[in-house]
Amino acid sequence: MTAATIAYALLFCGASLVFAGGLAYRIYDYARTPAPLKIPTTPAPTTRRGVALRLAREVVLFESLFRSSLWTWVFGWLFHAGLALVLIRHLRYFTEPVWGWVAFAQPFGIYAAFAMAAGLAGLWVRRFAVARVRYISTPSDHLMLALLLAIAASGLAMKYAAHTDVVAVKAFFLGLMVADWQPLPADGVLYVHLALVALLMLIFPFSKLLHAPGLFFSPTRNQADNPRERRHLAAWAAKLEHRK
């Protein structure tokens, strides 16, 4: 077992723990944050089913972004849709036998990688080209885009230029999940790709990328417009009422 294999095995065990534990804690934190006011962005649905539909449209189509900024929507949606397909394509490294729908998605995943990179490039150009966005952009905004773009670029490099032994990569990760250590191919681009992915997993729970689960806890999106039919009372406020 090489030193690199051991280092990457430890790195991914640690990164997975931080990612899963951090994400679970942040979601718990969001869930217990009080929403004292009734503030759905109107026009809003008046039923819970309507709210579920609205959230689904947000998640799949980025509806409110489409209304507010067309170009940001184009690049943002391109990136996220590409990312979703790329991640589905990657499931083949972690499942044996590979699920039918994952096998079906493989060819589309290739194009998705380019869509993802194009979307990221567009979002990055926006941070320089649009004055009001440039003004509020912090180094972390740029670094997030750089990190994601570097992951996509190193992935594409493996796919088209410096091929790696994907069968061995799969054996390494399947083994890691059952503590059966397998050698990781000694391959520079793969090392870069995986180190960047581990970095992404480590910072995800503490970064702005948390908007993914955060969307579901946003009162402006997850509340029904029914304050006349049902009085809005946050759980902590209800407790105060009983104390009177």
Q: Which residues would be at the binding site for ligand HEM (CB under 6 A)? A: 83, 86, 89-90, 93, 109, 113, 116, 148, 151-152, 155-156, 158-159, 163-164, 166, 169, 173, 193, 197
- Determine the longest span between alpha carbons in the chain, in angstroms: 71
**Nearer of residues 40 and 155 to ligand HEM, judged by Cβ:** 155
Closest residue by Cα to residue 151 from 192, 186, 119, 188? 192
- Residue 208 CB coordination number (10 Å): 12
Task: Pick between residue 74 and residue 174 the one whose CB is nearest to ligand HEM.
Answer: 174
Q: Closer CB to ligand HEM, residue 62 or residue 204?
A: 204
**Cα angle at 62 between 61 and 64, to 5 degrees?**
125
CB of 136 to ligand HEM, least distance (A): 24
Residue whose CB is less far from ligand HEM, 167 or 237: 167
Kindly tell me which of 164 and 222 has the beta carbon lying closer to ligand HEM. 164
Selection from 138, 154, 142 nearest residue 198 by Cα: 154
| Minimum CB–partner distance for residue 145 and ligand HEM (Å) | 12
What is d(CA 133, CA 93) in angstroms, rounded to the nearest whole number? 38
The residue number with the shortest CB distance to ligand HEM is 155
Q: From the CB of 189, what's the least distance to ligand HEM, in Å? A: 9
**Least distance in angstroms from the C-beta of 114 to ligand HEM:** 8
Under 8 Å between Cβ of 176 and 12: yes
Nearest alpha carbon to residue 116 among 69, 62, 75: 75
Secondary structure class of 183 (helix, strand, coil):
coil
The minimum distance between CB 54 and ligand HEM, in angstroms, equals: 27
Cβ partners under 8 Å of residue 108, min gap 6: 85
